[in-house]
Structure 1
Amino acid sequence: MSKNARHRLAAPTVAMLPRIADSLSFLYLDIVRVYQDDTGICAQVETEERGKELVYLPTAALSCVLLGPGTSITARALTAFARHGTTVLISGSGGVRTYSAMVPSSLSTTWLEHQVRAWADDTERLAVAKRMYERRFGPGVVAGDKNVAQLRGMEGQRVRALYRLFAQQYKLARFKRSYDPEDWDEQDPVNRALSSANTCLYGIVHAAVVALGCSPALGFIHSGNQQAFIYDVADLYKAELTIPLAFSLHASSNPEQRARVQFREELRLFALLPRIVADIQLLLRPQADVTTPDLEEQVVDLWDPISGSVPGAINHSSDQW
């Protein structure tokens, strides 16, 4: 097979472009060199025992690649990822921080549009916020007549009850949540571990939000910050993930480091990322079927104020004008 023929076979088509709702595929890499050769994108791993080894990446099947510490990547490989519609994130160790992202131009705006429409409409924004609170409280707890102020009060009571429960479990005299960067070293181990673990969680949520194509800045409960939506989503998991971890480190001499290490070791990152994506989809479009691929989906549609959207890439000269 000729070199040109291999390149044509490797080029993606519309049908081949992976959708986040279908594959939910994330790949984390660290301490490797990523580059493109005549066959595809590969990760070069070098060890003293086994020398240089190449692992070829299933590029067309990947929705998001997280590049951790010690990773280098060539411009040609980045171009190939962009051509295949793969989001590339620069992350911390284990994917628990998100520093920057390369979002391909082929990434669908479907979920960004759902987010913006719901965010811009006060009624829809309240509905999404209530769904977020209901995920924390459990089904049926958030009645239709409760306003946002009441829901905030319920959330405050829930979190205080969790703190009290874990303080009793670990035989702590008392616990009060405190986050003061100016007085960081004087805070107790639980507060320091909780802040560190929450930062790790924010990084993973950020990766999922970017991979889905949503805006991290358009929050439904939080607002006024470039990570408002990340804080919204991360709050769904703190009671399950970061709060228990922080209290378990109440006697640690280095709670921040232990929180980061245990979060990476115990989190099962690749089970959480698809879960976050699915939760965001259900929050924004609770009635949508996000698992069935739409074979008629176009890469680009045209907006219409009456029908909503019309197919792109065709000549509309017969339309009335």
Structure 2
Amino acid sequence: MTTPPPAAAGAGEARRRLAAPTIAMLPRVIDSLSFLYLDVVRIHQDDTGVCAEITTEARGRETVYLPTAALACVLLGPGTSITARALATFARHGTTVVISGMGGVRSYAATTPANLTTTWLEHQARAWADDTRRLAVATAMYEHRFGPGQAPPGATLQQLRGLEGHRVKALYKLLATQHHIGRFRRNYDPASFHTQDPVNLALSAANTCLYGITHAAITALGCSPALGFVHSGNQQAFVYDISDLYKAELTIPLAFSLHASTNPEAEARRSFRDNLRLYRLMPRIIRDLQTLLAPDNAPQTDDEPDEQLIDLWDPITGTIPGGTNHAPT
């Protein structure tokens, strides 16, 4: 085994230092408006950064470097492999990694960075565990979608679900009429997915991309994707809750516009990604999450909570500083 000359070793170390992220280099999650879908690639980390590598007979081996710090989430489809170093880099940059199905139409699992504050998780857990506050959050979600004062006073969750269903069906009917496609029925059957019509295919693909962006925002605030206020019983329940706030504006009209597409899934992903900066979706999700979970404490700006050291909980005094030996002296 040969030892590299000092100059080469020094150059390699310099590249590693330049590639290592610092707090000043990392953008806030609200600035990370993009997602990326990959399949049949190998993702690994080298001295420069994280790269996706694919080998084909026609073009040989191709390598593309990924802007990890600028991505809100990465959807990994079938045939994808990723190394531990690359996954650790995504986690350091706060990029959520979602394991998805072919075309990004199903979500199986997602990563959660370990260095997150619990401030907003505690707000979420308190609201979720109190039936009165949980219904209040669900009502606020309904009025966020359909306008202030649209929820009848004293409406139950079952009544809100019924009203929502009527409004969504009316939207489907309106868009079907506008695009001259006849009667439309929402259908999602994983067992026979590719036999469905283009609108259903496009809607499933666009919704999964929306779920990835929403999951990234939820985990960036340190909230739990599992503690939903309308949906329940699934690790993505809160993701579905928040994503529903934007479907009528973003994914449903997009899907109907692709009713004549020969490749609706890919076109839905590309169109949705291309328009994300126009939508400014990530800042909206962050603000809406904070307003829903703690309307009296929600920040009035796009700033995210400062990074915190771990504190200890005390039933009398509340939080006390961590990293301190509290044994009596």
Paired letter, 2:49: I
Displacement, 1:16?
A: 6.4
Aligned to 1:225: 234
1:309 partner SS: strand
2:315 paired residue number: 305
1:129 positional shift: 0.6
Match of 1:107 among 116, 119, 128: 116
Matched, 1:74 2:79: no
In structure 2, the residue matched to 1:142 is 151
Segment drifting more, 205-214 vs 122-131: 205-214
The residue that corresponds to 1:202 in the other structure is: 211
Q: RMSD across aligned C-alpha pairs, in angstroms?
A: 4.2
Residue identity opposite 2:237 in structure 1: A
Normalised by the size of structure 2, how large is the TM-score?
0.71
The percentage of counterpart residues that share the same residue type is 55
Q: Which amino acid aligns with 1:43?
A: C
Count of equivalent residues: 309
Distance of aligned partners of 1:315 and 1:153 in 2 relative to their CA distance in 1, 3 Å threshold: same
In the TM superposition, residue 126 of structure 1 has moved relative to its aligned partner by 1.2
Residue 125 of structure 1: CA displacement?
0.8
Match of 1:239 in 2: 248
8 Å Cα contact 2:203/2:252 also seen in 1? yes
In the aligned structure 2, how far is the partner of 1:165 from the partner of 1:128? 29
Paired with 2:283 and 2:104, the residues of 1 have a C-alpha distance of 14
Q: 2:44 matched to which residue of 1?
A: 34
Task: Tell me which residue corresponds to 1:263.
Answer: 268
Contact 2:73 2:216 in 1 (8 A): no
Describe the shift of the 1:203–1:102 C-alpha distance in structure 2 as closer, same or farther (beyond 3 A): closer
Deviations 1:95-154 (A, max 9, x none): 765443333321333332222221111122111111110111112323553332332232
Secondary structure of residue in 1 paired with 2:266: helix
Residue 192 of structure 1, CA deviation? 5.1
Q: Identify if the C-alpha distance between structure 1 residues 158 and 185 changes in structure 2 by more than 3 Å, giving closer, same or farther.
A: same
Alignment of 1:1-321 (within 5 A): 24=32, 28=36, 30=38, 33-37=43-47, 41-43=49-51, 55=65, 64-66=72-74, 68=76, 72-82=81-91, 87-91=96-100, 98-142=107-151, 144-179=153-188, 190-191=199-200, 193-251=202-260, 257-258=263-264, 260-268=265-273, 270-271=276-277, 272-286=281-295, 287-289=297-299, 291-292=302-303, 297-317=307-327
**2: distance between equivalents of 1:56 and 1:241?**
26
| CA deviation after TM superposition for structure 1 residue 312, in Å | 1.5
User: Structure 1 66/44 Cα, relative in aligned 2: closer, same or farther at 3 Å?
Assistant: closer
TM superposition shift of 1:219: 1.0
Contact 2:124 2:293 in 1 (8 A): yes
Partners of 1:97 and 1:200 within 8 A in 2: no
Give the secondary structure class of the aligned counterpart of 1:236: helix
Question: Is contact 1:36-1:74 (8 Å) kept?
Answer: no
Retained in 1: the 8 A contact 2:226–2:238?
A: yes
One-letter identity of the residue aligned with 2:320: V
Cα deviation for residue 281 of structure 1 reads 2.7
In 1: Cα distance, 2:310 partner to 2:32 partner = 21
Identify unmatched segments of 5+ residues in structure 1: none
Q: CA deviation at 1:84?
A: 5.8
Higher mean C-alpha deviation, range 179-188 or range 72-81:
179-188
8 Å contact kept, 2:30–2:282: no
| Distance (Å, rounded) in 2 between the aligned partners of 1:104 and 1:215 | 12
How many angstroms apart in 2 are the aligned matches of 1:250 and 1:85? 36
SS at match of 2:115: coil
Give the Cα separation in 1 of the matches to 2:150 and 2:229: 19
Q: TM-score, normalised by structure 1?
A: 0.73
Q: Which runs of 5+ in 2 are unaligned?
A: 1-6
Structure 1 pair 214–179 and aligned structure 2 pair: CA distance change class (3 A): same
Q: Which amino acid aligns with 2:319?
A: S
Which residue identity is paired with 1:120?
A
CA contact (8 A) 2:96 2:111 kept: yes
User: Any idea what the Cα deviations from partners look like across 1:283-305, whole Å, max 9, x if unmatched?
Assistant: 2223321634555x522121223
Task: Describe the SS at the equivalent of 1:108.
Answer: coil
User: What secondary structure is seen at the aligned counterpart in 2 of 1:310?
Assistant: strand
